[in-house]
Amino acid sequence: MTDLVTFGETMLRLSPPDRERIESTSTLELRAAGAESNVAIAAHRIGAETMWTSKLPDSPLGRRVAAGLRQYGIETEIEWSDEGRQGTYYLEFGTDPRGTSAIYDRADAAVTTATLDDVPLDRIRDASMFYTSGITPALSDTLESTVDEVLAEAQDAGTTTAFDVNYRSKLWSPAEARASLTELFPRIDVLVTAERDARTVLDQSGDAADIARDLADEWDFETVIVTLGANGALALHDGEIHEQPSFETDTVDPIGTGDSFVGAFLARRLAGESVPTALEYGAATAALKRTIPGDVAVVTREEVENVMDTEGRDISR
């Protein structure tokens, strides 16, 4: 039985090297990148048996996405389509005062047409946990319905459901996101939200603990995790608040940090660890991810535990 099944869009990420500008570079680095596949890979690296599922175009670009994910050892279940495109995004790194920026080219992507028939429901029903994020229903009306239906199928089968708000302002407004996501909330057991998303999208106020309690009280979530960026994360479970500071890190590439945190947290919860221990794994994995180019946490559990032990961060001999 699979521990964790994730569902969502994975794009191809194209980035110029060494903080060059897109308009002047002659080289673009190509990687597969997507929130749900990032979570699946991070969870797999920390010990869970994971599968990512989606719909891709049967094209060289779609096959490149599949190959780019399989190299990390996760299982993939893909609905191949003769219609639709492969979504891409262009990531330009910058430092102050020029920040990092992303240009998305995902219109008419094959995944936006995915229906319940395109999803491996038997695998989701048999899995211990199903995960998706707020990016997926934001991509199309079809996906909004599909996510709702898949969460219902998972819930009815007794599969634990986990969901990250993961708000993207380039996809929808806070009001649109709030209306859609709160329709999904009754089907979710474990909610993850950045503090800023809780305030902007979910109209929450107070400190992070207040936010977690208010969300749990209103929607009866089993667990609520509020991520706090450089200040770590906080979780509410069984009425108790657990706080986890971040680990010191030098940032090479911040993209995918939150997904890495979520993947590691879910992996250790699936392994039977306590919420505080899972939070610590999540924070350590996120710190390591920031030192690695690309969206994916290419880490080992041993490396993560070394960070947790505050040892093993210098030269390994």
Q: What is d(CA 217, CA 252) in angstroms, rounded to the nearest whole number?
A: 38
With b meaning 16 or more CB within 10 Å and e meaning fewer, what string describes 59-79? beebebbbebbeebebbbbbb
Token code pair at residue 146 = 């599909």
Token code pair at residue 250 = 């030098």
Q: What is the 3-state secondary structure (H, E, C) of 266-282?
A: HHHHHCCCCHHHHHHHH
262 phi and psi, to 5 degrees?
-65, -45
The answer to whether 165 and 201 have CB atoms below 8 angstroms apart is: yes
State whether residue 28 is helix, strand or coil.
Answer: coil
Number of H helices, E strands in the chain: 11, 13
Q: Which of 259, 295, 309, 314 is catalytic?
A: 259
DSSP letter (8 states) at residue 204: -
Pairing of strands 190-194, 223-227: parallel
The answer to whether 51 and 59 have CB atoms below 8 angstroms apart is: no
156 is catalytic: no
Residues catalogued as catalytic: 259
